[in-house]
């Protein structure tokens, strides 16, 4: 979701050039349909400066559209409706306009039209959802997960090493990986609405997020905001969610968010990623479903859709903690050793998930400030171009089958509502179109190459090396 435009420059619309004041809006009944972003109700959304009431709108993608109530959703709407025409918006009830909207991104550019035209020759309209192969893999991962969940929750042999496969160490590592596979291969496509054209299938599979210790709605709040504003240093929650421990953003020297210990983050950031599970499972945001990263950039999360789901979210978290913390402790003894096995499971899941996610947008020569040109000139930038130049792709189809297409991050960010099963087929075409338009496409044939580039970037971002004067080029 784009941020609420009324919050400083962390808004989808920056300072308005309109002459209508907030006081005028409040006092003149004739202007009540002309409002500010902050005035949006929980049953309203704004797209391109127009306010729509969605309280009675039956969306083909399901009731989840109400998750966005109270916010400007221009970028989200454009990125998940690749076949957009004006007729789509005519289906919703228009109730007003906003005065403080100004777009940073532009759509329907020559590059966007060309890449859609070529990709849609491969993936025809209506076929962009999960393939039989995708569902076969998804159900294999689901079966693997539930088998390991049962073993981990009921095992009484954590410290019996007569059969190594029954030991707690082995089960913790394997169960951690099994959970990560759900995060990568099942819930990710589903919560993008890409697994199936049937909303209930996406909704059901999307609860895989809660089965692995996170929360579906908090994940969507942060992840969809991340997709809309990838690598935006003020609007992408993923770019600053790990601060101040380490910095993904490459802040200039002397910036207040740059800490002395960031100089060493290239060495310790992988270690800190291992604690992702702990920070997720014990995150109190599951209580109110106000994802703090999204809230920081201005997302309004007090609509009825979210409020009604708080009890469900809390219940699922209690169930997770009962199965994966209380049960192992009760079955194997309340001891530090048992707690260590549980923590090992969390570390296994954390590293499998977070290390792969960290590769996607943090690498050498990635665009870490895609909106810089807009701030200089006021001219909106091509959203599709920014998605390519802030993302990387590595490997091929086999990597995609294991990571749920996470390795095809460029393709995923261009077409987030397309199933990951299609990315290996469209990747060569995407690369060709990018080359034709002079758009920088980062591709690594092997994952280790992307890993090296990520470690190098993290080190340079921590030391500020990218800001050192380059006398031969005249660039700083």
Same domain membership, residue 425 and residue 280: no
* Per-residue pLDDT, 446: 96
Same domain membership, residue 121 and residue 82: no
* Per-residue pLDDT, 474: 43
Residue 209 is part of which domain span? 132-359
Contact 394, 447 (CB under 8 A): yes
Same domain membership, residue 318 and residue 379: no
Same domain membership, residue 296 and residue 269: yes
- Rounded CA separation 229/189 (Å): 19
- Rounded CA separation 315/357 (Å): 27
Same domain membership, residue 210 and residue 317: yes
Q: Residue 89 sits in a domain of what CATH number?
A: 3.10.120.10
Same domain membership, residue 177 and residue 256: yes
Show which of 324, 339, 359 is a domain's final residue: 359
Question: Is residue 46, in this structure, part of any structural domain at all?
Answer: yes
Enumerate helices (H) and strands (E) in the chain, giving the number of each.
25, 9
Show which of 359, 384, 408 is a domain's final residue: 359
Same domain membership, residue 298 and residue 165: yes
* Per-residue pLDDT, 17: 37
- Rounded CA separation 418/129 (Å): 6
* Per-residue pLDDT, 265: 95
Same domain membership, residue 159 and residue 241: yes
Question: Is residue 460, in this structure, part of any structural domain at all?
Answer: no
pTM of the predicted protein model? 0.88
* Per-residue pLDDT, 347: 97
Contact 289, 301 (CB under 8 A): yes
Same domain membership, residue 245 and residue 212: yes
Nearest to residue 12, comparing CAs of 105, 137, 85, 142? 105
Same domain membership, residue 318 and residue 209: yes
Show which of 359, 384, 414 is a domain's final residue: 359
| CA-CA-CA-CA dihedral for 165, 171, 173, 177, to nearest 10 | 110
The answer for residues whose C-beta is within 8 angstroms of residue 349's C-beta and 6 or more apart is 175, 176, 177, 179, 180, 183, 212, 213, 276, 277
Question: Is residue 14, in this structure, part of any structural domain at all?
Answer: no
What are the beta bridge partners of residue 408?
A: 393
> pLDDT (tens digit, 0 to 9) for every residue of the chain, 476 residues total?
433 333 333 333 333 333 444 444 444 444 447 777 778 888 888 888 899 998 888 887 778 888 888 888 889 889 888 887 777 788 888 888 988 788 899 999 999 999 999 999 999 988 999 999 999 999 999 999 999 999 999 999 999 888 889 999 999 999 999 999 999 999 999 999 999 999 999 999 999 999 999 999 999 999 999 999 999 988 999 988 889 999 999 999 899 999 999 999 999 999 999 999 999 999 999 999 999 888 888 888 888 889 999 999 999 999 999 999 999 999 999 999 999 999 999 999 999 999 998 999 999 999 999 998 898 998 999 999 999 999 999 999 999 999 999 999 999 999 999 999 999 999 999 999 999 999 999 999 999 999 999 999 999 999 999 887 554 444 44
Helices 423-437 + 110-122 axis angle, to 10? 150
* Per-residue pLDDT, 27: 46
Same domain membership, residue 255 and residue 199: yes
Question: Is residue 7, in this structure, part of any structural domain at all?
Answer: no
How many residues are present in the chain?
A: 476
Overall domain count for the chain: 3
Contact 95, 53 (CB under 8 A): yes
Question: Is residue 458, in this structure, part of any structural domain at all?
Answer: no
- Rounded CA separation 199/230 (Å): 26
Same domain membership, residue 243 and residue 120: no
């Amino acid at each position: 979701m784009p941020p609420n435009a009324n919050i400083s420059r962390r808004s989808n619309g920056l300072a308005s050039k309109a002459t209508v004041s907030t006081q005028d809006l409040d006092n003149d009944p004739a202007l009540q349909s002309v409002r500010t972003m902050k005035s949006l109700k929980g049953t309203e959304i704004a797209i391109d400066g127009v306010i729509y009431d969605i309280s009675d709108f039956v969306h083909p993608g399901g009731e989840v559209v109400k998750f966005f109530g109270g916010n400007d959703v221009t970028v989200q709407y454009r990125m998940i409706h690749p076949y957009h025409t004006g007729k789509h918006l005519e289906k919703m009830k228009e109730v007003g306009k906003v005065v403080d909207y100004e777009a940073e991104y532009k759509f329907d550019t020559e590059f966007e039209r060309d890449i859609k035209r070529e990709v849609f020759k491969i993936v025809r309209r209506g076929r962009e959802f999960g393939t039989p192969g995708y569902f076969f893999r998804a159900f294999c991962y689901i079966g693997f997960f539930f088998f390991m969940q049962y073993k981990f929750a009921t095992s009484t042999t954590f410290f019996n090493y007569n059969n190594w496969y029954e030991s707690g160490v082995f089960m913790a590592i394997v169960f951690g990986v099994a959970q990560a596979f759900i995060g990568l291969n099942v819930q990710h496509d589903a919560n993008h609405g890409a697994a199936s054209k049937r909303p209930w299938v996406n909704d059901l599979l999307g609860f895989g997020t809660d089965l692995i210790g996170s929360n579906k709605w908090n994940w969507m709040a942060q992840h969809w905001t991340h997709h809309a504003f990838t690598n935006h240093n003020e609007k992408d929650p993923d770019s600053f969610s790990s601060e101040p421990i380490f910095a993904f953003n490459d802040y200039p020297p002397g910036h207040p968010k740059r800490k002395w210990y960031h100089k060493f983050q290239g060495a310790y950031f992988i270690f800190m990623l291992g604690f992702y599970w702990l920070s997720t499972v014990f995150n109190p945001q599951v209580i109110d479903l106000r994802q703090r990263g999204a809230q920081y950039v201005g997302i309004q999360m007090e609509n009825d859709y979210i409020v009604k789901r708080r009890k469900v979210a809390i219940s699922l978290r209690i169930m997770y903690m009962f199965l994966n913390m209380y049960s192992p402790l009760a079955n194997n003894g309340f001891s530090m050793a048992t707690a260590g096995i549980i923590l090992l499971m969390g570390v296994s899941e954390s590293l499998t998930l977070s290390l792969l996610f960290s590769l996607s947008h943090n690498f050498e020569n990635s665009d870490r400030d895609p909106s810089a040109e807009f701030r200089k000139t006021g001219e909106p930038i091509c959203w599709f171009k920014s998605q390519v130049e802030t993302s990387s792709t590595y490997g091929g189809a086999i990597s995609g089958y294991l990571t749920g297409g996470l390795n095809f991050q460029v393709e995923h960010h261009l077409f987030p509502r397309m199933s990951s099963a299609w990315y290996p087929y469209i990747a060569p075409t995407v690369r060709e179109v990018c080359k034709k338009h002079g758009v920088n496409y980062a591709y690594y044939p092997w994952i280790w190459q992307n890993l090296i580039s990520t470690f190098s970037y993290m080190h340079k971002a921590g030391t500020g090396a990218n800001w050192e004067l380059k006398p031969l080029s005249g660039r700083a």
